[in-house]
Amino acid sequence: MEQGKLDKLKSKIIADAEDEASKIVEGAKAEAGRILDEARAEASKIRQAFDAKAKEEAAEHVRRRVSLRELEARKAILAEKGRAIDEVFDRALETLRRRDREGGYGITRRLLLLAVETGDEEVIIDAEDRKALPPDYLEKLNEELRQQGKRGELKFSEANRSIKGGFILKRGRSESNSTFDTLLSMVRDDLETEISQILFGGREA
């Protein structure tokens, strides 16, 4: 082949190769750009999802803290109401004891007349109350029991117990509790709602 024709062929091959290389480079750039755009889009979606989840978790955290604070507040209010009602019953107990002492233990006498079954029980009362009773207290009480058709043989027990007013009746191994605090506790459930309404009105915890 003549030298001129050979040179032209070489030039054409080089030109074709350069053109092909250029196309490959451009294609690679285009593919790289497409991949990069997809990666950016995916990253954006992930970031948005993360931001949304983070916001949701933050909101849920706030809701939980608020709910916890509200629960703690309700518990505190209920505890305060409970203390106030306890104080009402404590004062009622002291008032009942004071009126009983000031009235010559007339409240205790009336309760005994209702509680005695046979008339030969032992009466357990607080040591201080026993000292303060009128000397003929038990004698008169037994007389009233005999008038009711009962034995009228009550006697004080030697048992020493700390009792906040009222008494315990004992017959053999059986005991009947008529102490003031026990009697008040028996009616507390029925009175608590009414007392709460008086103290706090219709306010809820």
* 18 occurs within a structural domain: no
* 170 occurs within a structural domain: yes
Q: What is the pTM of this model?
A: 0.61
Q: What is the CATH number of the domain that holds 178?
A: 3.30.2320.30
* 44 occurs within a structural domain: no
Minimal CA–CA distance to 170: which of 105, 117, 110?
117
* pLDDT tens digits, 58-102: 778 778 887 888 888 788 877 888 888 889 889 999 999 999 999
Amino acid identity at 24: I
* 175 occurs within a structural domain: yes
* 142 occurs within a structural domain: yes
Alpha-carbon distance of 189 to 22, in angstroms, equals 95
Quote the domain boundaries for residue 97.
Answer: 85-200
* pLDDT tens digits, 175-201: 999 999 999 999 888 888 888 788 877
The number of domains in the chain is 1
* 143 occurs within a structural domain: yes
Q: How confident is the model at residue 54 (pLDDT cuts 50, 70, 90)?
A: confident
Residues 6+ away with beta carbon under 8 Å from 151: 118, 119, 120, 145
* 64 occurs within a structural domain: no
* 96 occurs within a structural domain: yes
